[in-house]
Structure 1
């Protein structure tokens, strides 16, 4: 089952993802990366971890396994799938926080000057997205909604379109979608809502 949490920078997505994990799971795996790669350096200078920097509230009564959402994200998700038995998969929730930050990290690692840069970015991005969509257990994905200004360069445009396309795919595959605004969650898709689609969705059949 897939939950999607979207919203702007600093809107409370990470804290809400934790609260949601406490409700839908009994234990968690947090795959974390910062919204911007530079935050890793800032956290190291201040001597804090990324969960503290991103506003995560790790409760002592909820066991977490924490790992970095790095270039091995797809492999980690596939490994969790392969190593899981039904009992563990039913009680555990995986939190990916955040997919948008992870994609920024990919762009940072792969220099624009490399002749194969676009191909490498696309390959890593596609592999991660396919691993998320193929995940068999409970997974919460945190991502951003993007707005474009007047001065985006070609590289920034590539980032924006890749993330926007992924958000649409995740929206289609998600059971429930929340948008965070100033710390408040709005349900965009769920059991109480129905979109006009060609197939029955949630509680009410299409007319």
Structure 2
């Protein structure tokens, strides 16, 4: 099952994903990267508080697709149901790829897009529980070509992941709003039961 966590910068996505991982899994694998490449900014993630929960910590880099496929191939079928993989964040990973693009090197630019597509395909094909943290892209009044690529590539990925996810949440100032999954009220007489969203 796929959970999608989205929102603006500094909205509390990572902290919420951490709490969600502790609820839906009994052990975790964290594939992480900074939200902005070559930045000393931290997101205030409480990952250390998880103790032994994260059995594997690794970077979400160019080999993200390979790492996800390896997790699938090497998984113990009896432990797969208790494990959750956290990718934090998809937007940070894309920023890293685009940050290494070179306008004079078409070969590397093509390779970066190929790595991006491979990573998304690996997320879509993943068998098991996964939480993907991402952002809602935006662009300025006069965006550069890299900014436009970031906004369009990420928006396309977010639409595909939202369609594929079982549940999705948007964070605003640390408060989560459910976009997809189960609603508290079904609208029939005010019964406080859980009703699956109907498309």
The normalised TM-score by structure 2 is 0.88
Q: Mapping of 1:27-46 within 5 angstroms? A: 27-39=27-39, 42=40
Residue 146 (structure 1) shift:
1.4
Picking from 181, 185, 203, the partner of 2:196 is 203
Q: Secondary structure in 2 aligned to 1:95? A: strand
Instruction: Quote the RMSD (CA, aligned, Å).
Output: 1.9
- Structure 1 residues 205 and 184: alpha-carbon distance in aligned structure 2, compared to 1, 3 A threshold: closer
Distance 2:153 2:159 in 1: 10
- Number of aligned pairs? 188
Residue 11 (structure 1) shift:
0.4
- Structure 1 residues 97 and 63: alpha-carbon distance in aligned structure 2, compared to 1, 3 A threshold: closer
- Structure 1 unaligned blocks of 5 or more: 44-52, 194-201
- Structure 2 unaligned blocks of 5 or more: 185-194
Other-structure match for 1:198: none
Query: 2:156 aligned with 1:168, yes or no?
Result: no
Q: Secondary structure in 2 aligned to 1:160? A: helix
Other-structure match for 2:58: 67
The normalised TM-score by structure 1 is 0.85
Q: Mapping of 1:12-27 within 5 angstroms? A: 12-27=12-27
Query: 2:34 aligned with 1:56, yes or no?
Result: no
